[in-house]
Structure 1
Amino acid sequence: MTVPEASVAIELERLRGTVATGFAEVEGSLAVLVERSARTERDVAQLREDTEKDLDDLRAEVETLKKNRWPLPAVAALTGTGGLAVALWSALGR
């Protein structure tokens, strides 16, 4: 080998090492991104599950509150009937 060929071979070997190092760094970065993505997907799935559970609990509480609320139309009818009875008693009593 002559001197220029040797220097070209050395430069090519150095370039190959640089490229290999760059690929290793890229592969490492991609592995980190894949792991973060997988972790994020697990976290989102857990949050979705927790949110659905909380929503189910809230729906159950709302249904319980709806069942236990005052029957306002019935109370209004009873009040009106009571007022009519008092008015008739007052009118007839005089």
Structure 2
Amino acid sequence: MTAPPPPDLGVYISPAQTHAEVRRVADGQIRMEAKLDAILADQREHRETIADHEQRIRRLEAGRWPLPTIAALAGIGGLVLAAVPLLQH
């Protein structure tokens, strides 16, 4: 092991200190990667949920289209039934 340099040359950082700092940074990176993996997993779940909701909404919309048509036909039918007695006189 080398001796620390004389005090007039500036700040001395020992190899042990350097190693400890590198380990601290590496541990922080590992924690960030774990959090990122969890975020990505949540995002995948959200995408699947949104796709499911989109599919369900499309099915509901597809089932509703006859309702306005039936209402319009019922209105026309009522108008015709109301007009028949007027036209018979």
What TM-score results when the alignment is normalised by the length of structure 1? 0.68
Query: Which structure's residues are more often helix, by fraction?
Result: 1
| Structure 1 consecutive aligned stretches of length 4 or more whose deviation exceeds 4 Å | none
Per the TM alignment, residue 93 of structure 1 is displaced from its structure 2 partner at its CA by 4.8
Whichever residue aligns with residue 39 of structure 2, its letter is V
- Comparing both chains, which one has the higher relative contact order based on Cα–Cα distances under 8 Å and sequence gaps of 6 or more? 2
Question: How many residues get paired?
Answer: 82
Q: 1:78 maps to which residue?
A: 73
Structure 2 gap segments, 5+ residues each: 8-12
Range with bigger deviation, 80-89 or 32-41: 80-89
**SS in structure 2 at match of 1:39:** helix
2:14 corresponds to 1:19: yes
Q: 2:10 maps to which residue?
A: none
Q: Rg larger in 1 or in 2? A: 1
Per the TM alignment, residue 61 of structure 1 is displaced from its structure 2 partner at its CA by 0.6
Whichever residue aligns with residue 45 of structure 1, its letter is L
**SS in structure 2 at match of 1:43:** helix
Counterpart Cα distance in 2 of 1:71 and 1:43 = 44
CA deviation string 1:7-66 (max 9, x = no partner) = xx97x28x9xx6223212201211111101211221122112111111111111111111
What TM-score results when the alignment is normalised by the length of structure 2? 0.71
Q: 1:4 maps to which residue?
A: none
Query: RMSD across aligned C-alpha pairs, in angstroms?
Result: 2.6
Q: 1:33 maps to which residue?
A: 28
Q: Taking every aligned residue pair, what percent have the same amino acid on both sides? A: 22
